[in-house]
Chain A
Amino acid sequence: MKQDYSEVEDIVVRYGVIVLGCLFGMTYLERILSFSTITVLTGVLTYFYGDVAVFGRYVLVDGQIFEIARECVVGMVYGVLFVLVFSTAKVSLVRRLAALMITWVLTFALNLARMCLLVFVVKTSYFHEMHGLFQYILAPVWLFWIWIMTARLLEIQAVPVYSDAKYLWDLIGKSSRHRRQKVNAHFVPMQKIVILAWLGNNTG
């Protein structure tokens, strides 16, 4: 029973971290991501184009202005990965942090590669098709691929959210059965007493 309670504590702590992270961390995360994405993207583009100008969240490359908005730094992907990592049961803290690090770095690198590719093709006729391909086809697959790769790499067996939910469901079920048994255990002697008393009265 003691172990059960420590797992419940673990769930409470993990989901507490998720709630706090989502409530208070996303704004800071997006700021850091915007800054680092613009900085690294500018560096990469400068290598290819030579002259790249940055004005706040706007990047001017080859006569074309790109806005590195919140949607572009894909803060939501980082958030979802954060939720996936912390909603997975039976993972040590070190492996959890490693998973977070791997998924975030992969996301950052892939997003940077995507943005560079779109900058390269922005003046071509197939820019919109390519952007659509990334946005509607590759984005969900991409998140899935990053998570599954990381789970395999770190041998994470548990299913995010589901494992916790199943555990809690089982725990509730087990606890209610136990309570029923307990009630029954108390109820039988009383019954006996009542029956015996009734029998005594009737016989006496």
Chain B
Amino acid sequence: MRLITVFLLGIVFLSLVSATIPTDCESSIVAYWRFENNFQDSVGTYDGIVIGTVEWDSVEMVGSSFKYIDGTQKVTVSDSSPLDLNNVFTIEMFIQETNSENSILINKGNYNLKSIRDDDDYFSLESAVYDSYNKQWVNITSGTLDIDTKYHLALTWNGTTLQFFINGVSQGMAPLLDTSGTSFDLVFGEGFYGLIDEIAFYNKALPVNTIKSHYSKALSGKDYCESGASGFSSTSSEFQIRGCSVKDHAGNYLFGVPQDSCSKDGKYYCDSSEKLYYTLADVNGCSLGGNCCPSGFKCNASNICEARTVDCTTYIAKGDINTANTCLGEKCFWIEKDGSGFCTEKPSDFSCGYYEDISSCTEDLWNLGQEGTGTEVCGTYIIDSTEDKGYVIRQSNCKCSWIVNKCLLSYTVEEELFGLGETQNKFTCNKYYNVSSCMEGRQHINWTSGVSAGQGDNFGSDTTLRQKIANATSCSSGELDRSCGDAVVKVPLFGLYQFIAASLIISLFYWLRRLQ
């Protein structure tokens, strides 16, 4: 009985502990002070102690942030060897300075981050780490920064190079060969005026994509561990899509949108800083020049997506972009085959499988190899963080190919960077889509995928790695029911028929009552 009690208590304890640990954090995270009205380390045991007035701000940063109001406050964390960062590391934090004064944002003796006053309205940041091999400090200084503006800072060391980022943009790098530990306590915000939030330490030099991802998340009010709709997001715990990613309400990855591009469904636009916008609420998508709008909408003269009043299929003339009431003039797609053609809202309702002979497949008049079903993955980039390698699917490598009497969508997944003398890892994914016709706004599609090794494929016998990357690049079989045609769903209820029916029912009711 006692054993059972201990066991149950253990389970309760473990569940309580696991509830306090964020579930989607980087595995390399060592400490994370979120400043959510406390100074606790939310992943480790390195809790801070405040000296001076405690005041919080819940507006500017992520959740709440610690407010340094008089330059005398500071947060101290007791010395501990993991905080010495004498191996590869990353430090991240958010700040917003309100008074430009010389101050120290982070200090551990062997490394620090300082704010340097330029004048009343401007300041710069300096990161410094002591190189114990060369017996000298290694410094990197930022450009001029504005007060009352929030900045995301990240300092990384990969064992050879120190690099300093502000808002995901590198401020410079410097060689750093070795670091050493100190017995000093870790201090945050000595002499500082403003807000400090989301300080995190990692025992790994985070890739720039991850740093940008954390910056984007924090901008949208999410902490570094939270999965979000904008910025980078993992397709699995090991892969990331460069650009923006769209997720469903359960947080499952749906598809990626490359930088400065429109999503294939036209609902989203990803800008150069990997921020995701809804095209219905933003002019950036339409300003790309195409028709970056959801199905059923078109870009108007003011670069705003407006609802179509006429369905694309009603246009019988191809026309050109300057002629109104023609297919191209109304920003629809003209699809031709055997001399005749028709106008359609979006080519993604069709796939390469629509071509029935080798010549039409390879010619791809309708551009289905780049615009059709399944091409969402084209132009995206993934990082295998276990191998620290990037793989790219270039837009130009997506095409329709005639293989074994069928027209397939094929694209090449290739390693982006590889060393001198190394063979580039790459493979080709071939996907056959069977797309049913669009019935009442719904369409069933299923697809089968196959991987064929590229010439000089360096994966060799490592089919596991190749399959893993294939899965991450959507090179797998599956099926789904999806919206097609008019993407906007209306749910009307009451019309003339319902009015007549309701009147009859009510009349019948009163008539029967009268009979009784």
Question: Do A and B bind?
Answer: yes
Q: Which of B10-18, B53-61, B490-498 contacts A (4 or more CB under 8 A)?
A: B490-498
Residue B388 lies at the interface, judged by CB distance under 8 Å to chain A: no
Say whether A104 faces chain B, with CB atoms less than 8 Å apart: no
Assess A143 versus B267: contact at CB under 8 Å? Given A72-B491, A131-B491. no
Can you list 17 pairs linking A and B with CB atoms under 8 Å apart?
A62-B249, A63-B246, A64-B483, A65-B267, A66-B490, A67-B488, A67-B490, A71-B490, A71-B494, A72-B490, A124-B481, A128-B440, A134-B493, A144-B502, A144-B505, A144-B509, A160-B506
**What residues make up the interface of B, taking CB atoms closer than 8 Å to A?**
229, 246, 248-249, 254, 265, 267, 278, 280-281, 294, 296, 307, 440-442, 481, 483, 487-495, 497-499, 501-502, 504-506, 509-510
Which positions 129-188 of chain A face chain B at CB distance < 8 Å? Answer: 131, 134-136, 139-141, 143-144, 147-148, 159-160, 162
Q: In the complex the two chains form, what is the Cα distance from A136 to B509 in whole Å? A: 19
Decide if B490 touches A77 in the complex (CB within 8 Å): no
A29 interface contact, C-beta 8 A: no
A71 touches B280 (CB 8 A): no
A33–B83 Cα distance when bound, in Å, is: 58
Q: Which residue of A lies closest to B278 (CB)?
A: A53
Q: Please tell me if A106 contacts chain B, counting CB pairs below 8 Å.
A: no
Who on chain B is nearest to A118 by CB? B491
Looking at the assembled complex, report how far the CB atom of B471 sits from the nearest CB atom of chain A, in whole angstroms: 22
Given A125-B481, A144-B506, answer yes or no on A65-B440 (Cβ-Cβ < 8 Å): no
A74 to B492, CA, bound (A): 7
Complex formed: what's the CA distance from A131 to B489 in Å?
11
Q: Tell me whether A9 is interfacial, beta carbon within 8 Å.
A: no
- Find chain B residues with CB under 8 A from A131 CB: 491
Q: Judging by beta carbons under 8 Å apart, are A63 and B505 in contact?
A: no
Chain B nearest CB from A36 CB (Å) reads: 16
* A50 lies within 8 A of chain B by Cβ: yes
A-chain residues with CB within 8 Å of residue B494 when the two chains form the complex: 71, 74, 76-77, 139, 143
Choose among B229, B440, B493, B506 the residue that contacts A72 (Cβ–Cβ < 8 A).
B493
Candidate in B249, B296, B494, B502 with the most chain A CB atoms within 10 angstroms: B494
Interface of A with B (CB < 8 Å)?
48-51, 53, 55, 58, 60-67, 69, 71-72, 74, 76-77, 80, 84, 111, 114-115, 118, 122-125, 127-128, 131, 134-136, 139-141, 143-144, 147-148, 159-160, 162
Chain A's nearest CB lies how many Å from the CB of B86?
Answer: 41
B249 touches A51 (CB 8 A): yes
A65's partner among B481, B487, B491, B492 (CB-CB below 8 A) is B487
A51 lies within 8 A of B267 (CB): no
Given contacts A67-B490, A74-B493, 9 further A-B contacts (CB under 8 A): A51-B229, A53-B278, A55-B281, A58-B488, A62-B248, A66-B488, A66-B489, A77-B493, A114-B491
What is the distance, in angstroms, from A30's C-beta to the closest C-beta of chain B?
Answer: 12
With contact pairs A58-B488, A139-B498, A140-B501 given, residues A147 and B267 touching in the complex (Cβ less than 8 Å): no
> B492, A69: Cβ atoms under 8 Å?
yes
What residues of B have a CB within 8 angstroms of the CB of A74 in the complex?
A: 493-494
Among residues of A, the one whose C-beta sits closest to the C-beta of B510 is A159
Given A135-B498, A140-B498, A144-B509; A58-B280 close (CB under 8 Å): yes
Decide if B489 touches A63 in the complex (CB within 8 Å): no
What is the bound-complex CA distance between A159 and B440, given in angstroms? Answer: 41
Q: How far is the CB of B116 from chain A (nearest CB, A)?
A: 40
Given A67-B490, A71-B492, are A143 and B278 also a contact pair (CB < 8 Å)?
Answer: no
* Bound CA–CA A130/B505 (angstroms): 22
B380 smallest CB distance to A (angstroms): 18
**Chain A residues positioned under 8 Å from B498 (CB to CB):** 76, 135-136, 139-140, 143
**In the docked arrangement, what's the CA distance between A19 and B58, Å?**
54
Tell me the bound Cα distance from A96 to B69 in angstroms: 61
> Which 7 pairs show the lowest CB-CB distances between chains A and B?
A71-B492, A140-B501, A140-B502, A55-B280, A49-B249, A143-B502, A139-B498
User: Quick check: A48 and B502 within 8 Å, CB to CB?
Assistant: no
Residues of A within 8 A of B296 (CB): 65
- Cα A124 to Cα B296 in complex, Å, equals 21
Which residues of chain B are within 8 angstroms of A159 by Cβ–Cβ distance? 510
Contacts of B492 in A (CB 8 A): 69, 71-72, 135
Say whether, besides A49-B249, A162-B510, A60 and B489 are in contact (CB < 8 Å): no
Q: Which residue of A lies closest to B263 (CB)?
A: A63
Instruction: Indicate if the CB atoms of B442 and A128 lie closer than 8 Å.
Output: yes
> Which partner residue on chain B sits nearest A60 by CB separation?
B278
Give Cα A7–Cα B510 distance, bound, in whole angstroms: 22
Residues of A within 8 A of B254 (CB): 63
Interface centre among B265, B492, B501 (most CB of A within 10 A): B492
Provide the residues of chain A in CB contact with B249, threshold 8 Å: 48-51, 61-62
* A66, B280: Cα distance in complex, Å: 12
Q: Which residues of A contact B281 (CB under 8 A)?
A: 53, 55
Residues in B whose Cβ lies below 8 Å from that of A118: 489, 491
Chain A residues with Cβ below 8 Å from B510 are 159, 162
**Chain A residues with CB under 8 A of B487:** 64-65
Kindly state the separation between the CA atoms of A114 and B493 in the bound complex, as whole angstroms. Answer: 10
